[in-house]
């Protein structure tokens, strides 16, 4: 089947697990109850995705407080008790972990979650990991003091984790690199190389997600400064087209990205963001279908995967659920129309 749907990654957590509509929301359970709660939440969000008609499912990132810092906090060489405030993506301040010595992966981070999920569904599973550049941009480095060097270290750690996720049954491993829309010179100088090192040797599908961020105020304000045409992808896509990464997940819905830039990804699978995550209004299936149709002018249907613009963790649960259904229904509309 063509036009298979998937999501960027995260979904809102149940209100009994973490405070709703909040980034870095603290857990509301502890100890064994927390572990049990995370698994129950994964099952619940998996059932929501399947019922909505999402083809390539995720764990909804139910076991992470944050898509980057949860991974970083599991590593050796990182102090996450004495946090420092840094400016993330040149945009907003956050309290982040500090690199205090050589970094290393102590133990698998998401491998058990993936095994659990694999036992719950027959559908293909996509698992997200933070990309090396975005990791570097989400901490305070008091040891290497060199972004490229630290990114290379992280790439090696990510590669270990990704290889184990692949063995545990992941069908797609996605690296989230919102930093690729901000530090364009570094993307060309070492960002793509670090990303490829993170994905080296994987036989499952590999993806990179590049977006304009969650629907939080700092990101919405930043987007207002980007002018009438957002052309950040223009410098990144040709580099990605030449890379070994198989899929690119990007933002299209309600955005100012000129769609002709998608043509720069010739030969790659394109995960087209057809759901706006910065808006509480649930799209009509016809709106989703219109975004997919526009993208099909530049991406052949066999390479097009309707997706969300970004993660939906900051949204209300019923809004996110409505958006999942709209995504699947919109893709089904286009499939019927073109007889796929």
Return the sign of the alpha-carbon dihedral for residues 190, 195, 197, 201: negative
Instruction: Name which of 89 and 335 has its Cβ closer to Zn ion.
Output: 89
User: What's the closest the beta carbon of residue 184 comes to Zn ion, in angstroms?
Assistant: 17
Separation of alpha carbons 57 and 45, rounded Å: 9
User: What's the closest the beta carbon of residue 214 comes to Zn ion, in angstroms?
Assistant: 7
Q: Are strands 205-209 and 247-251 parallel, antiparallel or unpaired?
A: parallel
Among residues 310, 327, 331, 334, which is the contact residue for Zn ion, using CB under 5 A? Answer: 310
User: What's the closest the beta carbon of residue 8 comes to Zn ion, in angstroms?
Assistant: 5
Residue 105 main-chain phi, psi, to 5 deg: -90, 110
Instruction: Name which of 210 and 331 has its Cβ closer to Zn ion.
Output: 210
Count of residues in the chain? 340
Does 54 engage in binding with Zn ion (CB under 5 A)? no
**Which single residue is written with the structure tokens 């975005």?**
134
Separation of alpha carbons 328 and 52, rounded Å: 7
User: What's the closest the beta carbon of residue 313 comes to Zn ion, in angstroms?
Assistant: 10
The terminus-to-terminus CA distance of the chain in angstroms comes to 7
Site string (191-230) toward Zn ion, x via CB under 5 A: --------------------x-------------------
Separation of alpha carbons 303 and 301, rounded Å: 5
User: What's the closest the beta carbon of residue 1 comes to Zn ion, in angstroms?
Assistant: 25
User: What's the closest the beta carbon of residue 278 comes to Zn ion, in angstroms?
Assistant: 11
Closest Cα partner for 180 from 138, 221, 217, 208? Answer: 208
DSSP state of 179: G
Instruction: Name which of 251 and 269 has its Cβ closer to Zn ion.
Output: 251
| Total chain residues near Zn ion (CB under 5 A) | 2
- Which residues form the interface with Zn ion (CB under 5 A)? 211, 310
């Amino acid at each position: 089947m063509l036009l298979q749907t998937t999501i960027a990654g995260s979904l809102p957590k149940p209100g009994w697990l973490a405070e709703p509509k909040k980034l870095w929301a603290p857990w509301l359970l502890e100890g064994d109850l927390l572990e049990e709660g995370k698994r129950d939440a994964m099952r619940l969000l998996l059932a929501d995705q399947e019922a909505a008609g999402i083809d390539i499912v995720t764990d909804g990132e139910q076991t992470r407080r944050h898509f980057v810092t949860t991974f970083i906090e599991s590593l050796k060489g990182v102090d996450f008790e004495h946090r420092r405030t840094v400016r993330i993506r040149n945009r907003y301040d956050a309290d982040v972990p500090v690199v205090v010595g050589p970094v290393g992966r102590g133990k698998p981070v998401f491998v058990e979650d993936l095994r659990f999920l694999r036992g719950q569904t027959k559908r293909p599973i996509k698992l997200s990991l933070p990309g090396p550049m975005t990791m570097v941009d989400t901490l305070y480095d008091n040891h290497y003091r060199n972004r490229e060097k630290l990114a290379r270290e992280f790439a090696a750690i990510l590669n270990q984790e990704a290889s184990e996720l692949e063995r545990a049954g992941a069908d797609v491993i996605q690296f989230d690199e919102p930093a690729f829309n901000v530090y364009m010179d570094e993307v060309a100088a070492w960002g793509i190389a670090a990303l490829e090192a993170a994905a080296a040797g994987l036989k499952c599908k590999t993806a990179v997600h590049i977006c304009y961020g969650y629907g939080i105020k700092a990101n919405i304000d930043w987007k207002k400064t980007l002018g009438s045409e957002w052309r950040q992808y223009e410098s990144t896509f040709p580099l990605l087209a030449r890379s070994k990464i198989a899929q690119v997940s990007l933002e299209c819905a309600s955005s100012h990205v000129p769609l002709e830039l998608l043509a720069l990804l010739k030969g790659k699978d394109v995960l087209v963001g057809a759901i706006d995550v910065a808006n509480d209004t649930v799209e009509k299936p016809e709106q989703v279908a219109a975004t997919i149709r526009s993208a099909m002018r530049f991406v052949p249907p066999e390479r097009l995967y309707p997706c969300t613009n970004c993660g939906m963790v900051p949204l209300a649960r019923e809004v996110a659920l409505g958006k999942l259904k709209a995504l699947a229904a919109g893709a089904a509309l286009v499939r019927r129309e073109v007889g796929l």
